[in-house]
Chain A
C-alpha cells in the first residue's frame, strides 16, 4: 500500500495491522509523533488524518489508503515557522517537549477549523492531551494567541538557531 505523509507518497512495507505510529516512527523515521501510552490515552502520538487530529497509536495503517497524513515535520521549518509553532515558542508552551508534537497537531486542527481564543473551547479541543510540565496554562495561552493571529518577535524567546543534537529539556 501507499501512504501520503506531509504531501509525499511512500510505499509501505509494514503489515497492514501495524499502527500508523509504528509506521511513521520505525519505517519512515519520522519521530515527531511520540510513544506515550500506546492505548490512546495521552495524545503524544497525535497526527492529522485528512486534517483531523487522530491518535496514530490506535490506527492500523491498512485503514489509511488514500488519505493525507500531516505530522509536525509537515508544519514550518525552523527558518519559517507556522504561527502555531511560533506561538508555542513565544508563550513557552513547550517545556520538556515530549507532548508538544501531539498538542501542536490538535491545535493546528483547532485553528484551521475556525477555533477562537475562547479558553474553554481550547481546553475542550485539547482534552485528552496529557502534559506533565506546564500545567496547561501556557499551552492555552499559545493556542489562543495563534487563534487571534497574534504576531511574535521570537528574538526575545528563542535562540536564533535550532540544534539537532540533544537539547536539554526541563524535566
Chain B
C-alpha cells in the first residue's frame, strides 16, 4: 500500500510535457503508403458487384486488398475461446453496418488513396435494416445475421445468459408491491483524442513490425496471426503508448489490414482513421434495453427481481457475450436480493458493432439498479439512503452468481455519501457496518442466500 495517498512519480510525465512521448504516428516511417478504406454507405445490403481493377491500375496505388486476399477472412474476437467466428475482416457478400470495410487501398499519398477508393466499382442490393433490439425477436423482423438475430453460443447450448436463484415465484407471491422500470442507456463513443492508427513495416527478415495503439497488444497479435494464417513469430508488435483508449482500442481495428497491404505491396503502410471514421466506424459502448420488476415489502425489503436485458451488439458479436455475462453477475448492483430470475440476450442489429468501454457491461446495470432503488424508495415513501443501507451487500451475502462477499463496500460508501451531502440518518443506520447480518437485518428471506466467507 505504498502508493495509496502518496505522490508517486510518473515515469512519463516529463516526456509528455516536453513533446517527447512517441505515439504511433510520431514514428517516422519513410515511404509509408497511406491507407484508406472503401466502407459501406448502407446499414444492410448485399454486395452485387465488386471490381477493384481500375483502382489497382491507378498511378501511385501500391496495393488493393479485398476479402479474396485474406487467408482467413471470417474470425471472431472470441474465437480463441472456441466460439465460432462471425465477423469478416472485409465484407464479401453483404454489409451489415454503415462504415463496414469492404476493401482497403495503399497509395503513395492520401489524395491518391482516396481517389483509388472512389475508383472501386461496387453495386449494392439494399436490404431492410434492423435497428431496434425490441423488434429483433418478431417473426417478420429482417434476418440480419447467419446465426439469427441474437447470439446463440453461451455455454451448454444456451442462446442467452440466464440466472436463476432462490424461489422467484414465492418472492412475488409474498410481495406487498411490485415496482417496475425500463432503462435504456444510449450508445457512447469512447472518443480517444488519438484516433485508431497503425504503421506496419515489412522487414528484410520476412517479419512485419507493427506499431500499434492497441490496448490489447497480445490479443491483437493473435487476431492478426489468425487472419493471416501465419505463426506468431512473423509479427513484432510495438505498442504501449496509447493516446486514450477507454476500451475503444481493445478490438483490432487497423493492424490486420495494414499488414495485408504491406505484404502485398512489400512497402510500409500507415492508416490513421479520421475523426469521422472514429465516430462512424469504431466500436462504441452498447446501447442497452433493461426491464426490471422487483418484489418489495412495505418496510423496504427487496424479496426478488425479475429482469430482462437486451444488449445491442451491433452487427457482430465481438466481446458482447462477455459484457452480458458481467452484466448478469452484477444485476443486483451493490444490493442483496435473494430470489432472482434474469435473462440477457446479445441482440444483433445493423448498428456499428459495440464492444468494451470502461466497466464493460456493468455501468448499464448500475445505472438501472440505482435508478430503480430510488424509484422503489419513492413509491414506498422511504428515505432512499435507508433503503440502500438496509439492502446493502454485507459480509456473507452472496452475489447473483453465488459468490460470497468477503469485503463489500456498499455500507461505508453510502454512509460517506450521506455524510458528504449532510443527509441525516437515524442512529441505527448511521452506525451500520459491513459485518455479517444479524437481528433485524437478517429477516427470514435472507437466511437461505447466506454463504460462508471462509469458503470464498
Residues of B within 8 A of A44 (CB): 193
- The answer to whether A77 has its CB under 8 Å from any CB of chain B is yes
Inter-chain CA distance A21–B141, complex, in Å, is: 48
Interface centre among A41, A42, A132, A171 (most CB of B within 10 A): A171
Inter-chain CA distance A131–B16, complex, in Å, is: 14
How does the 8 Å CB contact mask read for B16-48 relative to A, with 1 for contact and 0 for none?
A: 111111110110100000000000000000000
Chain B residue with Cβ nearest A41: B275
CB pair A92–B13 under 8 Å, yes or no, is yes
CB pair B28–A98 under 8 Å, yes or no, is no
User: Interface size class for chain A?
Assistant: 35 or more
Partner of A42, one of B28, B193, B245: B193
Inter-chain CA distance A99–B249, complex, in Å, is: 17
Q: Assuming A44-B193, A97-B243, is B275 touching A167 (CB within 8 A)?
A: no
Partner of A34, one of B12, B190, B238, B243: B243
Inter-chain CA distance A94–B241, complex, in Å, is: 13
Interface centre among B7, B12, B13, B15 (most CB of A within 10 A): B13
Inter-chain CA distance A105–B23, complex, in Å, is: 19
Interface of A (DSSP majority class): loop
Residues of A within 8 A of B238 (CB): 166
Inter-chain CA distance A100–B424, complex, in Å, is: 43
- The answer to whether B191 has its CB under 8 Å from any CB of chain A is yes
CB pair B19–A132 under 8 Å, yes or no, is no
Q: Report the minimal beta-carbon distance from B107 to chain A, rounded to whole angstroms.
A: 16
- The answer to whether B445 has its CB under 8 Å from any CB of chain A is no
Partner of B18, one of A77, A99, A154: A77
Inter-chain CA distance A100–B18, complex, in Å, is: 9
Partner of B244, one of A78, A88, A98, A164: A98
- The answer to whether A156 has its CB under 8 Å from any CB of chain B is yes
Interface of B (DSSP majority class): loop
Inter-chain CA distance A34–B243, complex, in Å, is: 10
Chain A residue with Cβ nearest B25: A35
Chain B residue with Cβ nearest A89: B13
CB pair A34–B193 under 8 Å, yes or no, is yes
- The answer to whether B108 has its CB under 8 Å from any CB of chain A is no
Inter-chain CA distance A37–B278, complex, in Å, is: 10
Residues of A within 8 A of B192 (CB): 96, 98, 132, 171
Q: Assuming A78-B20, A98-B192, is B14 touching A89 (CB within 8 A)?
A: yes
- The answer to whether A157 has its CB under 8 Å from any CB of chain B is yes
CB pair B13–A169 under 8 Å, yes or no, is no
Partner of A171, one of B11, B19, B215, B275: B215
CB pair B15–A36 under 8 Å, yes or no, is no
Chain A, 35-93, CB within 8 A of any chain B CB: 35-39, 41-42, 44, 71-73, 75-78, 81, 85-86, 88-89, 92
Q: Report the minimal beta-carbon distance from B233 to chain A, rounded to whole angstroms.
A: 21
Residues of A within 8 A of B12 (CB): 97, 163, 167-169
CB pair B13–A158 under 8 Å, yes or no, is yes
Further contacts, 10 of them, CB under 8 A, given A34-B23, A38-B274: A41-B275, A89-B10, A89-B14, A96-B243, A97-B15, A98-B192, A130-B191, A162-B14, A163-B11, A167-B241
A-B contact pairs, 7 of them (CB 8 A): A73-B18, A75-B17, A78-B20, A96-B243, A131-B193, A132-B193, A169-B241
Task: Identify the 9 closest CB pairs spanning chains A and B, nearest first.
Answer: A32-B19, A98-B243, A97-B16, A167-B12, A171-B245, A72-B19, A171-B242, A94-B16, A37-B275
